[in-house]
Amino acid sequence: MSDIAVVADADRSAAPEPPAESRPTRRALPWRRIRRSVSIWLAALVLLIAVGFAFLPDLFARYDPLIGTPADKLLPPSATYWFGTDNLGRDVFSRVVHGAGLSLGSTLLAVGLAVVIGSTLGLVSGALGGVIDTVFMRFVEVLQSIPTLLASLALVTVLGFGTVNVAIAVGVTFIAAFARVMRAEVLRVRSSAYVEAATAGGSSPLRVLWRHILPNSYAPVLSLAAVQFGLAVLAVSALSFLGFGAVPPTPEWGSLVSEGRGFLGVAWWMTTMPGLTMIAIVLSAHRLGHALDDRRSR
């Protein structure tokens, strides 16, 4: 027995120590937290600036988005024109700022529609179960089986052109995601001890649903809404790019990218700058959505 102990001690003493860079240090964790906090605050700042663009465009834009100076057409980005000018001499930055109102407004309407309808379907389906659950989930599966852009194109073709119709078309295609998340949370909460106790205590199903199940099920839906907001920006802009959005010359992010397609060789900024703006909004929304989900899971 003692020989075995001696051999084990010898093996442990002979085992090489892990390199210093692979060993966890106390300084790594604070830096990781600082990096995470900085990314969250930057994402929040980007979205806050975008909201400012939508509600106070004249505070950020110096030039008229519809009237340009022909002598200044196709100028590259500079201190005078931050995002350059288009083929009619209009300031691209001013058009991006004024286009935020329609683009973000349509996105908010689409996400709000999807949250309300999808959450209601998931809540009722998970709480009642049975035939209602089967019918609702088959409807959700049909929605999920159709590609988002294809479904949006079909709906907006039926509804007609315009930013509101684009928002409705995009919102309908996002219903399935919220319905499935809400249903999963309702099924989890419904089997909890406090819900069973409330039911055994004589509370009505509607009261149990409103007072116990819903308040403990909506948090994942909010996290999903932040992530889906970024996807909705892309979907709304894609339909606007295809010409289903606002009527020109009204600026909208998707239509701004479309307008610059014919000038990529001589004026790359006409498409790049609105595109980078959309990318910043999408990445910021995703970062905040994942931050909310991480905070909820702790």
pLDDT tens digit sequence for 79-89: 999 999 999 99
When divided into structural domains, the chain yields a total of: 1
Q: Which residues does 266 contact at the CB level (< 8 Å), separation at least 6?
A: 74
In a domain, 238, yes or no: yes
Grade residue 6 by pLDDT with cuts at 50, 70 and 90.
Answer: very low
Structural contact between residues 40 and 285, judged by C-beta atoms closer than 8 angstroms: no
Mean pLDDT of 29-56: 89
In a domain, 43, yes or no: no
- Looking at residue 10, what is its pLDDT? 45
Q: What is the 3-state secondary structure (H, E, C) of the chain?
A: CHHHHHHHHHHHHHCCCCCCCCCCCCCHHHHHHHHHHHHHHHHHHHHHHHHHHHHCHHHHCCCCCCCCCHHHCCCCCCCCCCCCECCCCCEHHHHHHHHHHHHHHHHHHHHHHHHHHHHHHHHHHHHHCHHHHHHHHHHHHHHHHCCHHHHHHHHHHHHCCCHHHHHHHHHHHCHHHHHHHHHHHHHHHHCCHHHHHHHHCCCCHHHHHHHHHHHHCCHHHHHHHHHHHHHHHHHHHHHHHCCCCCCCCCCCHHHHHHHCHHHCCCCCHHHHHHHHHHHHHHHHHHHHHHHHHHHHHC
Give me Rg for the CA atoms of the chain: 26
- Looking at residue 298, what is its pLDDT? 61
Q: Using CA atoms, how far apart are residues 11 and 5, in angstroms rounded to an integer?
A: 10
Q: Which of 32-41, 58-67, 147-156, 193-202 has the lowest mean pLDDT?
A: 193-202
Question: Domain residues for 229?
Answer: 101-297
Mean pLDDT of 119-133: 88
- Looking at residue 92, what is its pLDDT? 96
Q: What is the dihedral of CA 279, 45, 251, 156, to 10 degrees?
A: 60
In a domain, 196, yes or no: yes
The CA angle 119-120-124, to the nearest 5 degrees, is 115
CATH of the domain at 114: 1.10.3720.10
Structural contact between residues 236 and 245, judged by C-beta atoms closer than 8 angstroms: yes
In a domain, 199, yes or no: yes
In a domain, 12, yes or no: no
Q: Using CA atoms, how far apart are residues 96 and 272, in angstroms rounded to an integer?
A: 11
Mean pLDDT of 279-285: 94
- Looking at residue 19, what is its pLDDT? 52
In a domain, 159, yes or no: yes
Mean pLDDT of 98-127: 93
In a domain, 175, yes or no: yes
Q: Using CA atoms, how far apart are residues 93 and 146, in angstroms rounded to an integer?
A: 36
Structural contact between residues 230 and 282, judged by C-beta atoms closer than 8 angstroms: yes
Q: Left (φ > 0), alpha (ψ -120 to 50) or beta: where does 130 sit?
A: left
Using the predicted structure, report yes or no on whether residue 12 has a pLDDT greater than 60. no
Q: Using CA atoms, how far apart are residues 173 and 180, in angstroms rounded to an integer?
A: 13
pTM equals 0.82
Mean pLDDT of 22-32: 58
Structural contact between residues 182 and 123, judged by C-beta atoms closer than 8 angstroms: yes
Mean pLDDT of 199-226: 79
In a domain, 170, yes or no: yes
